């Protein structure tokens, strides 16, 4: 797994990029310290929206062969898509806990590990899902993704107290010496980032703030990666 540098890994969400200038936006983010790219896939069923598909993924992978790509599957049938993105060169594939029953999720994780030994595997939880429900998966996965907005749209407001869920998972991971990253996704900007970093998150996803919320991609990346206590609340 990639190490934190210096306080947090930034995963800019391409959902928030300028689609007509995506190459430029990605280059800027990488130039200013983004180590991952977050790629949101929505099927119009698990969430009420359609987003980024296989065609775009292939282009991004080909243009940026070295970057770590984090695929967030907001789809009702993750087993249909995990293999596809793994084959196309995703580094991390995250599916939603709410999309699969316990046995099916365990089975999927097992088969992904067997077939793609280098692939990192993540499980995401929606804001209303209790953290206790994913404890039993933490020993088998690399990343737990805590949604701090309802999945489906960029540009929403951070749901207050999401950092409490992060803290709870962080404590559980530390207490049990598990090797699992905590990632947060939704409503992260200059006013909310320090709360999630203080709660112990390893990876911060940010879309609208990075690509249009701070005046420049450079400024947004700096703020998230390096912090700036004087502007936080």
Residue positions annotated with a catalytic role: 40, 185
CB 209 within 8 A of CB 155: no
Helix, strand, or coil (residue 39): strand
Q: Is 40 in the site for ligand DX5 (CB under 6 A)?
A: yes
Among 64, 155, 191, 232, binds ligand DX5 (CB under 6 A): 155
Residues 48-87, mask of contacts with ligand DX5 (x by CB under 6 A): ------------------------x---------------
CB 143 within 8 A of CB 166: no
Tokens at 15, concatenated: 């959902």
DSSP state at residue 1: -
What is the bridge-based pairing of β-strands 120-125 and 203-206?
A: unpaired
CB-based burial of residue 192 (10 Å sphere; 0-12 exposed, 13-18 middle, 19+ buried)? buried
Q: Least separation, in Å, of the C-beta of 1 and Zn ion?
A: 19
Angle at 190 between CA 53 and CA 65, to 5 degrees: 35
Q: Least separation, in Å, of the C-beta of 143 and Zn ion?
A: 12
Q: Is 146 in the site for ligand DX5 (CB under 6 A)?
A: no
CB-based burial of residue 65 (10 Å sphere; 0-12 exposed, 13-18 middle, 19+ buried)? exposed
Q: Which residue, 76 or 106, is less far from Zn ion as judged by CB?
A: 76
Residues 164-203, mask of contacts with Zn ion (x by CB under 5 A): ---------------------x------------------
Residue numbers at the binding site for Zn ion (CB under 5 A): 40, 72, 185
Residue numbers at the binding site for ligand DX5 (CB under 6 A): 13, 15-16, 38, 40, 72, 149, 151-156, 185-188, 205-209
């Amino acid at each position: 797994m990639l190490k934190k540098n210096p306080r947090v890994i930034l995963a800019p969400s391409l959902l928030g990029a300028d689609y007509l200038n995506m190459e430029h936006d990605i280059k800027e983010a990488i130039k200013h310290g983004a180590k991952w790219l977050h790629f949101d896939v929505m099927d119009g069923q698990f969430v009420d929206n359609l987003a980024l598909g296989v065609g775009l993924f292939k282009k991004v992978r080909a243009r940026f062969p070295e970057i770590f790509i984090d695929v967030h599957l907001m789809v009702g049938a993750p087993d249909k898509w995990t293999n596809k993105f793994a084959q196309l060169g995703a580094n991390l594939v995250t599916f939603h806990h709410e999309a699969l029953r316990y046995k099916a999720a365990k089975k999927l994780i097992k088969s992904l590990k067997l077939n793609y030994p280098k692939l990192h595997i993540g499980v995401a939880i929606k804001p209303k899902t209790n953290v206790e429900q994913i404890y039993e998966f933490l020993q088998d996965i690399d990343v737990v993704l805590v949604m701090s907005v309802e999945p489906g749209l960029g540009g929403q407001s951070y749901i207050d107290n999401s950092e409490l869920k992060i803290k709870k998972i962080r404590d559980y991971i530390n207490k049990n010496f598990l090797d699992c990253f905590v990632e947060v996704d939704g409503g992260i900007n200059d006013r909310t980032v320090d709360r999630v970093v203080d709660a112990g998150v390893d990876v911060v996803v940010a879309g609208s703030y990075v690509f249009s919320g701070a005046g420049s991609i450079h400024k947004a990346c700096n703020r998230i990666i390096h912090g700036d206590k004087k502007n936080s609340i």
